[in-house]
């Protein structure tokens, strides 16, 4: 027995024997408690959006969009800003279809906590999403980026820090013939292809575009996306570097980046020109790669056709593969990285090891092994896309209308940005090295967003009662306090 008065009673409760199953009384289930909400974290998301003035900023931007059909605001119903934020709130709670907004509508206790108290019905939300044109969504992107910049200012981040932008695309498989704009991708799937421009240091999406599954990421729409992303960076930002995979390789893209003063590193397809450039590298030039066992890095120069500027650096990475680790299937990715001469020696049994090569074209300064390491870290955008699809709602583009699916894409990007902002509030803009730079949606949902709570009104105030023993109660309270501590938005 312990010394405190409460310990014996606790011990007795723990040791109390449960009655046999046959003797247990039935449980009566009644759903009539109006003070409980399953989404206690709505208070943090709602406070953050209110302090950033997100709904009002989106409404002003969309209503003032030039060259677009006016978005009619009705006396009753949701505005465009309320639609986008309500969709994002639903996605943050796990919703992956328009119908999931009904779960928020049913949560009466949490209405005053949310950024959008009156959530539109699913059918209305889908209709409103169809009315948002690409021009509306472009100005909405700018409003979302400005909200992120305002949070950075509140967190005292240095606006002149260098910026790294990552660009990538992903396939979202869809089903049925009523999917305007979808097409068969190289994988054979009927799909859309979202393209994202992400600010790596912030973990936030600045711009997005919805292509068909068969569209090339070298198209003019990608060039416009890059220009738009650069324009959304805050005034006074530091030097910008951009990273791309080989699917974006195009001389016109490199020209735009040079005109804008943006440094770049871009993977280059393994063409005959690349294999010829490889022959110019002396064997003694290879150096160990950073944080990549069995890999080496060297460099040479290369001038793309019609480039018209100085020769660019061609950084080459090679990785040693044992013969037994090389697949015989001609479609195997690893096999495609190995020169045909080395494959012939492997197949003839005259060699036990071969090298796979990757090529990076860049104008960035620094030792080649550091440039290669920096470019390899662009894989973090793939992690963001993974969280975007599995943690949020980009695994679906649910509407039978292309404008509605574009709206869905932007709302999901906003939800991903809110997750990054919540991470900043909960863990600080520079979290402990032991913590991931960006918490995943699954963790933040369990820690913060989908926490049951009782909403109590007392003495003209509101008390949010969380479950006793909640593991992340301190993080929850800290995130809310920091959101509450942000400056209120300026009057419009």
* DSSP letters spanning 397-435: ---SSHHHHHHHHHHHHHHHHHHHHHHHHHH-SS--TTS
Whole-number Cα distances in Å, 55 to 67, 115, 141, 231, 319? 22, 8, 13, 22, 50
Tokens 């399953």, residue?
A: 38
CA distance 337 to 315: 15
Whole-number Cα distances in Å, 384 to 213, 226, 434, 437, 439? 20, 18, 19, 11, 10
For residue 5, name the pLDDT band (cuts at 50, 70, 90). Answer: very low
**Is the CB of residue 83 less than 8 Å from the CB of residue 128?**
yes
Residue 163 phi, psi (nearest 5): -120, 135
Helix (H/G/I), strand (E/B), else coil: 10: helix
Helix (H/G/I), strand (E/B), else coil: 186: coil
| Percent of the chain at pLDDT exceeding 90 | 74
pTM value surpassing 0.75: yes
Strands (E), 127-275: 163-169, 172-173, 183-184, 190-199, 204-212, 240-244, 263-268
Q: Quick one: average pLDDT of 381-396?
A: 90
User: What is the distance of C-alpha 284 from the center of its chain?
Assistant: 41
Q: Residue 323 has what pLDDT?
A: 86
**Is the CB of residue 346 less than 8 Å from the CB of residue 354?**
yes
For residue 176, name the pLDDT band (cuts at 50, 70, 90). Answer: confident
User: Furthest-apart CA pair in the chain: how many Å?
Assistant: 87
Per domain, the residue ranges of the chain are 262-377
User: Per the structure block, which two tokens stand in for 336?
Assistant: 């495609």
User: Per the structure block, which two tokens stand in for 293?
Assistant: 């066992």
Q: Residue 8 has what pLDDT?
A: 42
Q: Residue 492 has what pLDDT?
A: 56
**Is the CB of residue 162 less than 8 Å from the CB of residue 133?**
no
For residue 105, name the pLDDT band (cuts at 50, 70, 90). Answer: very high
For residue 428, name the pLDDT band (cuts at 50, 70, 90). Answer: confident
Tokens 């209120």, residue?
A: 488
Residues facing residue 463 across a β-bridge: 456
Q: Residue 10 has what pLDDT?
A: 42
Q: Residue 327 has what pLDDT?
A: 80
**Is the CB of residue 236 less than 8 Å from the CB of residue 160?**
yes
Tokens 């009057």, residue?
A: 491
What contacts 307, CB < 8 A, 6 or more positions away? 251, 254
């Amino acid at each position: 027995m312990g010394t405190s008065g409460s310990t014996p009673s606790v011990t007795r409760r723990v040791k109390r024997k449960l009655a046999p199953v046959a003797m247990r009384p039935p449980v009566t289930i009644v759903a009539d408690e109006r003070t409980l909400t399953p989404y206690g974290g709505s208070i943090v998301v709602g406070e953050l959006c209110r302090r950033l003035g997100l709904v009002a900023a989106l409404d002003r931007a969309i209503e003032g969009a030039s060259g677009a059909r006016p978005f009619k605001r009705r006396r009753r119903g949701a505005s465009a800003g309320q639609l986008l934020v309500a969709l994002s709130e639903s996605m943050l709670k796990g919703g992956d279809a328009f119908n999931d907004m009904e779960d928020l509508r049913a949560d009466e206790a949490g209405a005053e906590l949310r950024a959008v108290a009156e959530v539109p019905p699913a059918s209305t939300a889908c209709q409103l999403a169809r009315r948002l044109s690409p021009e509306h969504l472009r100005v909405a992107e700018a409003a979302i980026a400005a909200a992120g910049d305002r949070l950075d200012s509140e967190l005292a981040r240095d606006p002149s820090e260098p910026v790294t932008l990552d660009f990538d695309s992903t396939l979202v498989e869809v089903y049925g013939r009523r999917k305007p704009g979808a097409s068969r991708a190289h994988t054979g799937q009927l799909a859309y292809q979202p393209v994202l421009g992400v600010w790596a240091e912030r973990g936030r999406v600045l711009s997005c575009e919805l292509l068909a599954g068969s569209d090339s990421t070298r198209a003019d729409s990608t060039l416009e996306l890059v220009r738009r992303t650069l324009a959304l960076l805050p005034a006074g930002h530091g030097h910008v570097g951009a990273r791309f995979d080989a699917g974006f390789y195009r001389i016109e893209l490199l020209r735009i980046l040079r005109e804008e003063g943006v440094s770049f590193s871009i993977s280059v397809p393994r063409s005959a020109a690349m294999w010829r450039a490889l022959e110019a590298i002396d064997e003694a030039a290879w150096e160990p790669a950073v944080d990549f066992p069995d890999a080496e890095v060297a460099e040479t120069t290369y001038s793309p056709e019609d480039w018209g500027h100085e020769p660019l650096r061609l950084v080459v990475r090679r990785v040693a593969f044992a013969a037994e680790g090389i697949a015989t299937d001609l479609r195997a990715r690893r096999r495609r990285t190995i020169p045909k001469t080395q494959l012939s020696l492997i197949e003839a049994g005259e060699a036990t090891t071969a090298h796979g090569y990757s090529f990076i074209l860049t104008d960035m300064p620094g030792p080649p092994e550091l440039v290669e390491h920096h470019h390899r870290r662009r894989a973090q955008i793939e992690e963001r896309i993974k969280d975007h699809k599995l943690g949020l709602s980009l695994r679906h583009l649910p509407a039978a209308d292309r404008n509605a699916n574009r709206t869905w894409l932007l709302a999901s990007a906003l939800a991903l940005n809110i997750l990054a902002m919540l991470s900043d509030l909960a863990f600080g803009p520079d979290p402990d090295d032991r913590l991931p730079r960006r918490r995943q949606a699954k963790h933040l949902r369990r820690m913060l967003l989908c926490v049951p709570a009782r909403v109590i009104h007392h003495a003209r105030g509101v008390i949010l009662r969380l479950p006793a023993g909640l593991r992340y109660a301190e993080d929850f309270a800290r995130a809310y306090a920091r959101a509450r501590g942000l400056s209120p938005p300026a009057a419009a």
